[in-house]
Amino acid sequence: MGKPTGFMDYERLDSSAQDPKERIKHYNEFHEPLSQEEQALQGARCMDCGIPFCQSGALINGITIGCPLNNLIPEWNDAVYHNNYPKALERLLKTSNFPEFTARVCPALCEAACTCSLNGDAVSIKENEFAIIEYGFENGLVKPQIPETRIDKKIAVIGSGPAGLAVADTLNKRGYQVTVFEKADRVGGLMMYGIPNMKLEKHIIDRRINLMKTEGVEFLVNTPVNSKAQAKEIMNKFDRVVLATGASTARDINVPNRNGKNIFMAMEYLTSVTKSLLDSNFADKKFIDAKGKDVIVIGGGDTGNDCVGTAIRQGCKSVVQLEMMPEPPLTRAQNNPWPEWPRVKKTDYGQEEAISVFGHDPRLFQTTVEEFVLDKDGNVAGVKTVKLKFDVVDGKSTMNKVAGSEEVLPAQLVLIAAGFVGCDDKLAGYFNVEMTERCNVRADENFRTSNEKIYVAGDMRRGQSLIVYAMNEGRLAAKAIDKDFMGYTNIE
C-alpha cells in the first residue's frame, strides 16, 4: 500500500492556501492543489500498516474510528502513488457516491485514525481523494451510469442534502424510479446554502446534479411538503418514501432581549449571503450584511467559523466568537488516545482570517451570553457576557458562572450558531411517523419508520452530524429498501 518506506522517505505536503488577506476579497475556494507528481509522493506515504484503521468505520467507546463509508483508502492511495488514476477512481467510487463533497468539507476522520498519525503526520488522505475525483471529472472518467432496465417501483426522497442524494443516486443506479423533492430553489440542501462558497463552490454540486439528471433522477425544486394532504398524495403515488431533510431545527438561546433586531440564526445569515451571491453576485442586496459592524458569533463549531469567515469577507468592523467550552489542548490528552478523533485545538480558515485581519484569535472560551443590550430603537447594541468555570462535584462536571466577570461587548449584528436540536417535526407530523425524545424520526435498524412505507436517513434520524455519516446512511437506507422489495440486495 504505497511505498513501504514512503512515510519515512517523504514529509507530508498539503495544498497551498491563498494568503488570508487575499482570499477574503472573494468567495471562491482558495487552495491550490499539488501537482500529480507531488500527489504521487503523498500516496507513497501510505504504509503497509496491517490494520488500516483509516477505513475501518469501527466503534470504539461509542465513537466511530476512521471512515464511516469504509472507503478503500490504502488501495486508492497505492494507485495514486503509481499514477494509476483510473484504478484509483474505480476503487473510490465503489464505496462513495460523492467524493467531490467529502474531499472538500469532511473533517477527515480517516486521517485522525491513520497509523502514521500515531507518531507523526497522517497521510493526506483527503487531498488524495480530491485529486482522484477531480482527475476523473477533468478527464471524462466520471460518466453517466444509466440503468439498462428499470424496476417498476417509484421512490420519493424528501430532501436533497447528502443523505437524500445518496439514497437517490444509489437506488437510481439499481434501476428504481426516483424523484427528489426539495423545498428550496436549488438542489443540495445544507451543502448548497448552509456551507459557504469558499468551502464548496456550488458549481461542484450542480455538476453532480446534472449527472444524476442524465442518469434518470427527477428533481422537483421549490416543492416543500407542507400539509398532511400533500404527504398523503406522495405516499399514494410512490411505493416508498425516504425522509432526509436533516436536523433543521436550530438551537436558540433564551436570554433577555432575544427579540432584539439584527439577531439572526446562523443558517439564516449564511443562506442569505450564498443565495444573493448565486442569484446576482450581491446586486439584489437581499442578504444580511455585516459591513462596518461589530459582529458577535455565538457558537464555536464549524458553522460559527463559517459565520466568522463570511462576516470578514463582508467587511465587518470586528468579530468575536463565543464558546462555552474550555480551550482544548494543543496535543492529545491521555484520555483521548489514537485512533480516537483528536479533541485538540484547531484553527480553521475563518479564525485564521480573523487573526490576519484583526491580529488576534476571535474565540473567547468559557464564555456565555447573559443578555442582549438594545438601543432605544430595539436594535442590538451589545452582548453582555459572563465567564464560566467547570467544577467537579461527586465525579460530575458542572458549569458555573464566575461572579464579577460580566462584560458588555459591542455588537450591531449577532449570529447564533449553537447547533441543532432536531428535525422538522411538522414534516414528520405530516407523514405521521414516530419521533424520539431528541426530536429525531424513530427508525429500526433498517431505517424504516413506524410507517412501513416510509424510511428515514441522515441527520433526520441520527441528529446533527457530518456529511460523510449522512452519505453512509443514505447508502444503507437504499440497501434496506432494495432488500425490502427484492428479498435480497446486490447494492454494496
145 lies in some domain? no
Any idea which residue has 432575544 for its cell? 258
Q: Are strands 263-265 and 413-416 parallel, antiparallel or unpaired?
A: parallel
453 lies in some domain? yes
114 with 168, same domain: the answer is: no
375 with 409, same domain: the answer is: yes
71 with 98, same domain: the answer is: yes
Record the pTM. Answer: 0.96
Asked whether 415 and 225 are in contact (CB, 8 A), the reply is no
Instruction: Give the pLDDT confidence score for residue 1 in this predicted structure.
Output: 66
Q: Which three cell numbers stand for residue 214?
A: 442524465
261 with 386, same domain: the answer is: yes
93 with 197, same domain: the answer is: no
**If we measure between CA atoms, which residue out of 76, 77, 14 comes closest to residue 43?**
77
Count of domains for the chain: 3
227 with 265, same domain: the answer is: no
491 lies in some domain? no
Amino acid at 12: R
- CB atoms closer than 10 angstroms to residue 485: 16
36 lies in some domain? yes
- Which of 88, 107, 138 terminates a domain? The answer is 138
Instruction: Give the pLDDT confidence score for residue 396 in this predicted structure.
Output: 84
Low-confidence residues of the chain, pLDDT below 50? none
399 with 288, same domain: the answer is: yes
353 lies in some domain? yes
Q: Which three cell numbers stand for residue 453?
A: 412505507
To the nearest whole number, what is the mean pLDDT of the chain? 96
**If we measure between CA atoms, which residue out of 133, 97, 113 comes closest to residue 60?**
113
143 lies in some domain? no
Bridge partners of residue 322, in order along the sequence: 298, 364
240 with 256, same domain: the answer is: no
Q: What is the CATH number of the domain that holds 178?
A: 3.50.50.60
- Which of 399, 418, 437 terminates a domain? The answer is 418
Instruction: Give the pLDDT confidence score for residue 48 in this predicted structure.
Output: 82
The span from the CA of 204 to the CA of 472, in Å, is 20
Domain range for residue 107?
6-138
331 with 460, same domain: the answer is: no
The span from the CA of 346 to the CA of 481, in Å, is 40
Rg (CA), the chain: 23
242 lies in some domain? yes
146 lies in some domain? no
DSSP 116: G
375 with 473, same domain: the answer is: no
* Burial class of residue 16, CB neighbours in 10 A (0-12, 13-18, 19+): exposed
Q: How far is CA 402 from CA 125, 343, 447, in A?
A: 43, 25, 45
115 with 64, same domain: the answer is: yes
Bridge partners of residue 409, in order along the sequence: 383
349 with 256, same domain: the answer is: yes
Asked whether 326 and 365 are in contact (CB, 8 A), the reply is yes
- Which of 418, 449, 472 terminates a domain? The answer is 418
Q: Which three cell numbers stand for residue 172?
A: 437510481
Q: What is the CATH number of the domain that holds 62?
A: 1.10.1060.10
| Cα atoms in the 13 Å half-sphere on the side-chain side of 392 | 1
Q: Which three cell numbers stand for residue 482?
A: 432494495
